[in-house]
Amino acid sequence: MGALRFLLNVLWIFTGGLWMTAAWLIAGLVMAITIIGLPWTRAAFNIALYTFLPFGHRVVSRAEFTGREDVGTGPLGLIGNVIWFVLAGWWLALIHILHAICLAVTIIGIPFAWAHLKLAKIALWPVGRMIVTVEEAAS
């Protein structure tokens, strides 16, 4: 990890990253408790890790990255995203948007506000996506 990525990740933790990581972990735990949400538990924990250290990583379509379709990238993935949206996606996205609005007020907070907006998009439709490093995304 480069020095700039490291610095951005450290600052990110103090500008909402730690709280949003906790929110994703809570969402994962809630998914684990509910029988219907169990398939999304691992994804919520993976996104929690991404939320903790977002700089230096990208979220990409799993179908485009691997070059093949799977269960989560087809019609079942759409159904999975709708279920996720109802159970946890909307409130996680809302919290990310609120953090983004607060951070966008200052010039220093704009990159972190942008990261929160990207995470809000992921919070709405996470099924069929995967997290890779910037280097993996470029290749």
- pLDDT tens per residue across span 8-52: 999 999 888 899 999 999 999 998 998 888 888 888 898 999 999
Q: How many domains does the chain contain in total?
A: 1
Domain range for 94 is 3-138
pTM confidence score: 0.85
Return the pLDDT at 67: 78
- pLDDT per residue as tens digits for the range 42-87: 888 989 999 999 998 988 888 788 777 776 777 888 888 888 898 8
* DSSP letters spanning the chain: --HHHHHHHHHHIIIIIHHHHHHHHHHHHHHHHSTTTGGGHHHHHHHHHHHHS-TTEEEEEHHHHHSS--GGGSHHHHHHHHHHIIIIIHHHHHHHHHHHHHHTTSTTTHHHHHHHHHHHHHHH--TTEEEEEHHHHH-
Listed as own residue / partner, the contacts of 65-69 with beta carbons closer than 8 Å and 24 or more positions apart are 65/130, 65/132, 65/137
Residue 101 has pLDDT above 80, yes or no: yes
